[in-house]
């Protein structure tokens, strides 16, 4: 069942099926990907699937579950992106790699449809050094050096930092991205501004902020010195969009 064109919806929808068609299932979409609409006029007809009813029903639940999950993520992404844009944040809003095992690509696609950055699609996309990597290497400097040796010049290196001092060590060691993890809003603004000022003209790097960011607190972390805000709240525990499938005709 070729049914995987993920949509951004804000409300419950219905999917109508027509079994009186040729032997192969085909989908005709009535709304474009990424569109937003209101259910105020009742259920919305988003697509028509034509094909053998047995084949359609075999794929029904998998298709609806995928659409529901992906559309829920896209909806949440769009809502949070609108919130930070209204707060004056011009830079990147991203997800994380805390995705459902086996469903990562679908969830990442939902982030993209909702207007957010997917962050790393997989472990090969960028080397991220977290606290356990640093501890096992002995220091941030050693961990960055080892990552550079393993990944070569083509793979970016990001370091998760718990303090401004750790971020400075990471930048000095050659990290491309420093993540200020679990800082307060005030702490983020102070540290990000200090890092940009200290290394201006000496090092090129990005500042990412992450850790416990949600719709209720993210505005407090908004500042132009932050290049990336990343949060798993746009894809973990996100409500699904309610889709249904109806046979007509």
Of the residues 20, 55, 76, 98, which is catalytic? Answer: 98
DSSP-assigned letters across all residues of 41-84? TS--EEEEEES-HHHHHHHHHHHHHHHHHHHHHHHHHHHHHHHH
Contacts of 88 (CB under 8 A, 6+ apart): 222
Taken in order 84, 85, 90, 95, is the CA torsion positive or negative?
positive
Distance of CA 78 to the CA centre of its chain: 11
Cα(159)–Cα(149) distance, integer angstroms: 15
Question: What is the spatial order of strands in the sheet that 45-50 belongs to?
Answer: 26-29, 45-50, 13-18, 243-247
Q: Which one-letter DSSP state was computed for residue 22?
A: -
Active-site annotation holds for 98: yes
Q: Which of 9, 11, 17, 13 is nearest to 1 (CA)?
A: 17
CA-to-CA separations, 97 to 104, 111, 126, 197, 222, in angstroms, rounded: 8, 12, 12, 30, 22
Active site residues: 98
């Amino acid at each position: 069942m070729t049914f995987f064109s993920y949509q951004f919806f804000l409300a419950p929808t219905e999917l109508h099926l027509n079994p009186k068609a040729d032997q192969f299932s085909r989908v005709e979409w009535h709304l474009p990907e990424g569109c937003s609409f209101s259910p105020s006029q009742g259920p919305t007809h988003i697509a028509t699937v034509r094909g053998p009813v047995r084949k359609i029903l075999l794929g029904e639940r998998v298709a609806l579950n995928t659409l529901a999950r992906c559309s829920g993520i896209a909806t949440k992404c769009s809502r949070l992106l609108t919130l930070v844009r209204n707060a004056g944040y011009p830079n990147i809003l991203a997800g994380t790699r805390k995705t459902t095992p086996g469903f990562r690509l679908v969830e990442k696609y939902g982030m993209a449809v909702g207007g957010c950055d997917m962050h790393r699609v997989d472990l090969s996309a960028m080397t991220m050094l977290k606290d356990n990597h640093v501890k096992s290497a002995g220091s941030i400097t050693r961990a960055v050096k080892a990552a550079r040796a393993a990944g070569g010049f083509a793979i970016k290196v990001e370091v998760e930092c718990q303090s401004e001092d750790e971020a400075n060590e990471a930048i000095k060691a050659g990290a491309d991205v420093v993540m200020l993890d679990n800082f307060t809003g005030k702490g983020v603004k102070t540290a990000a501004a200090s890092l940009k000022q200290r290394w201006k003209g000496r090092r090129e790097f990005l500042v990412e902020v992450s850790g416990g960011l949600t719709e209720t607190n993210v505005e407090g972390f908004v500042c132009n010195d932050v290049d990336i805000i990343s949060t798993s709240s746009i894809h973990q525990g996100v409500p699904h969009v309610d889709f249904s499938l109806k046979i007509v005709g």
